[in-house]
Amino acid sequence: MLSYKFIHIKLLTHRLLLLLGVYFVCRLIFYVYNFQSFSNSTFTDIGISFLAGLIFDLSAIVYINLLYIVLFIPSIFAKPNRVYEQFLEIVYVGLNFVAILFNIIDIEYYRFQKKRTGIELFSGENDIIKLLPTYLKDYWWLILISSIITYFLFKFYRKTRAIYLQEKKPYIALKVLSIIMYVGVLVIIARGGLQTKPIQIISASQYGNPQNSSLTLNTTFTIIQSYGKKTLDNKNYFTEEQLNSYINTTKNYESEVLFSPKNVVIIILESFSNEYLGAINKNVKYTPFLDSLFNESFMFENAFSNGKKSNEAMPSIIAGIPSLIDESYSGSVYQNNEINTIPNLLKSKGYHSMFFHGGFNGSMNFDAFAKKAGYDQYFGMDEYNNTSDYDGNWGIYDEPFFKYFAQTLGSAPKPFFATMFSLSSHPPFAIPSEYKEKFKNIKSDKHKGFAYTDYALRKFFEYAKTKKWYYNTLFVILPDHTPDADDLYYDTKVSYYKIPIVFFDPVRNWKGKSQKIISQIDVMPSVLDYLHYDSAFKSFGNSAWRNEELGYTINYRDGVYQLIDSAYVIQYSGDDVTALYNYTNDWYLTKNLIDIELEVKDRMKKKLQAFIQKYNSTLIKNNYNNSKL
């Protein structure tokens, strides 16, 4: 009798699981048809992609069949009805035919864009409605394959009708309870598990070889997940020849000097800015260690972040990609594009790469982006595995995690590329209780947070200096973004992006300051240039060491683009300049020179338009990796 009580659950499960077989067939066809794109992967890599694909398939199946599930529930409490069952059949087959069609069409479309299709397929750029007759004519065989798969799905679906005949008693209370529990399970399946955040497109990079993420994904999932995300429009301000005279994303710093396989450590300081560093703002004394270190380093004082969020900093620093859209690059519809990154490029030189962040695994999708970027290892709160050092808010306190960072570097293969993202200098600025006495003379919790992170850095460098690897390492230190300013001086449209970017080489008598404008997207080319990297690569940024490359920075916020050079800032929205200021003479940006400095306006407008055109085109065409050189 017990099996009869839950027959409705069995029936719905049976029908949803039928679709797993369908998605497997679609993925198999996708793999065989695009075999060349995955030919460098091992059998194990391919197997992992197929197995991991089940997570994304199940999620997509739940999402695409939400309407069917909702309509199915009333039938549980009524006697079998042939008309209603036929209606459910039409809904089920119709919804899943669309899903099958998109997955099958993508086996061909993938060859053009090298990623699974997202909602951008329906943007004005693709003009899908206008071109649909041509697509149907040229790719009729894809429609045929989709129809054949759907036919077999229909036949298997009809066979499940027999399950209804096993129902004997209503058992209303048990049915209600079981449906509630079942819906809970479906929610977990749709979000891909019980982790902090639901799976996203970029999550596929965490399974096996990140180069196979398109094989792990399915097109239903990528379209659903990219729905509502902003897509870019192609701009045609300049011809291709004119465009290349303004900006060229292909870099080649080949020289007569041989490549130098130094270790590279990038330390990203959460929420630091010029306002809270004594080396720049003499009025504060929260960071005595950093101040002393910066005085022994080469510091770019006029440096800028390319965004105002932590997850905007990661792509900028590690891949040279600014966030010129309404969400971070790693959360955008283009998150699964192929990209150049420092760890990927240095892998060819034998580097082992590691990313460290003391926060919850999954926090801000750092672990997913790190995998996508080609890091060999990720170390987060799970890997640290000691909750006694948990700050009660975000993750592990900076001092113990910096110690863990230093110790792990000591046993890592050499040369290594490592990135450390600090945590404690973030609201609510929690510090361990044993350090409250140490910083009792600092009134603000915010400032205590900066002082504590500075102390953690002191301990890190004291330990690192005792190790051999330290003397063959280039350190790059910079914030992810600025925090809310205390002083209005640091709260203008220019200053709230201002950060220091510092390079420190322990064995080089290399100290000084530069007023050159650089930004986070210049870190990747600057590091590679410093190492004498001898191959071409793509980057939106430029090397800070090349004087022929005039410095500027690009920001975007709330529909407004901003370009800052050594004297002026121009703001641009809706394909037109909205403001121009000489911030060196007008720090608080009170005098708009848009109708006065016409030559400056024209020069900066063209530079900004060229950057926007190149950026949009590169992301739309998925054209930001070495294979496209």
Averaged pLDDT for residues 503-522: 94
566 or 37, which is more confident: 566
- Residue 106 · residue 30 · CB < 8 Å: yes
Q: What's residue 313's pLDDT?
A: 94
Q: What average pLDDT does the chain have?
A: 89
Nearest to 296 by CA among 153, 503, 489: 503
Averaged pLDDT for residues 511-523: 94
Distance between CA 504 and CA 487 in Å, rounded? 29
Given a cut of 60, is residue 163 above it in pLDDT?
no
Q: What's residue 345's pLDDT?
A: 96
Given a cut of 50, is residue 257 above it in pLDDT?
yes
Q: What's residue 289's pLDDT?
A: 97
Averaged pLDDT for residues 233-239: 93
Averaged pLDDT for residues 192-219: 85
Other residues' Cβ atoms within 10 Å of the Cβ of residue 36: 8
pLDDT tens digits, residue range 133-161?
666 777 889 999 999 999 999 999 988 87
- Residue 447 · residue 425 · CB < 8 Å: no
Domains present along the chain, CATH in parentheses: 2-226 (no CATH), 240-510+522-628 (3.40.720.10)
Q: What's residue 1's pLDDT?
A: 39
Encoded tokens for 157: 């679906």
Q: What is the pTM assigned to this prediction?
A: 0.83
| Pairing of the two strands 560-564 and 568-573 | antiparallel
pLDDT tens digits, residue range 322-377?
989 888 888 888 988 999 999 999 999 999 999 999 999 988 889 989 999 999 99
Best-predicted range by mean pLDDT (74-83, 516-525, 541-550)? 516-525
Encoded tokens for 195: 């982790």
3 state SS for 309-372: CHHHHHHHHHHCCCCCCCCCHHHCCCCCCCECCHHHHHHCCCCEEEEEECECCCHHHHHHHHHH
Q: What's residue 504's pLDDT?
A: 97
Render 251-296 in DSSP notation, one character per residue: E----SSPP---EEEEEEETT--GGG-TTT-TT--S-HHHHHHHTT
Q: What's residue 3's pLDDT?
A: 47
Given a cut of 70, is residue 500 above it in pLDDT?
yes
pLDDT tens digits, residue range 310-320?
889 999 999 99
Angle at 306 between CA 302 and CA 312, to 5 degrees: 145
Nearest to 142 by CA among 171, 194, 103, 116: 103
Q: What's the pLDDT band for 131 if we cut at 50, 70, 90?
A: low
